[in-house]
């Protein structure tokens, strides 16, 4: 990805992060613009634009497929899923998988830090012990986007997408 392409990609992801952190909401307009610019950039920067569009669409669909199950069990909000799918349009399928793995790790760290601030050390330890003892109980957790305690997981997913974009090509 060129410097200009990465600047556009990072700026749109940063806009999504600010919105997610402040309002626990990622606007559809940001996700849509991220997807559209990713597909346009892919086509414009490639020697074979039609092939690049297919790869870009593949990244978008793969990003959607990776996180949609977590939306369906209400662990993630729809905006988080749409944001990562849109980032996949920039990354392509292989980098989308890299970004998802990095984003999941970043999300685990974010969740731990968020729990420490919300519940303190003893509350976090008790919650972790409960989750280990009865993991099925977590499945019933539902995302409350209006709550200030809701984790802005889009921030972790955006971090994963940006990190994947910066990885050297194999």
| 108-132 tens-digit pLDDT | 999 889 889 888 888 888 877 877 7
Q: What is the 3-state secondary structure (H, E, C) of 1-70?
A: CCHHHHHHHHHHHHHHHHHHHHHCCCCHHHHHHHHHHHHHHHHHHCCCHHHHHHHHHHHHHHHHHHHHHH
Task: State the pTM of this model.
Answer: 0.86
| 58-67 tens-digit pLDDT | 999 999 999 9
Decide if pLDDT at 25 tops 90.
yes
> Which tokens belong to 10?
């990072």
How many Å apart are CA 79 and CA 30, to the nearest integer?
Answer: 10
**Distances 94 to 11, 14, 59, 79 between C-alpha atoms, Å:** 22, 22, 8, 22
Output the CA angle 37-18-43, nearest 5 degrees: 10
Residue in this structure with the two tokens 């995302």, named with its chain if needed? 143
pLDDT of 118 reads 82
How many Å apart are CA 91 and CA 63, to the nearest integer?
Answer: 9
């Amino acid at each position: 990805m060129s410097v200009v392409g990465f600047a556009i990609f990072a700026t749109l992801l940063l806009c999504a992060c600010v919105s997610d952190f402040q309002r626990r909401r990622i606007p559809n307009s940001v996700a849509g613009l991220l997807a559209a610019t990713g597909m346009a950039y892919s086509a414009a920067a490639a020697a074979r634009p039609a092939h690049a569009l297919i790869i870009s669409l593949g990244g978008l669909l793969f990003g959607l497929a990776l996180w949609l199950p977590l939306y369906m069990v209400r662990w993630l909000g729809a905006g988080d899923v749409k944001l990562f799918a849109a980032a996949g349009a920039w990354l392509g399928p292989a980098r989308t998988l890299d970004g998802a793995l990095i984003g999941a790790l970043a999300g685990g760290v974010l969740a731990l830090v968020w729990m420490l601030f919300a519940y303190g050390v003893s509350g976090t330890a008790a919650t972790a012990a409960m989750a280990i003892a009865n993991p099925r109980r977590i499945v019933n957790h539902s995302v409350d986007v209006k709550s200030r305690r809701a984790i802005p997981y889009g921030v972790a997913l955006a971090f994963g997408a940006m990190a994947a974009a910066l990885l050297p090509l194999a």
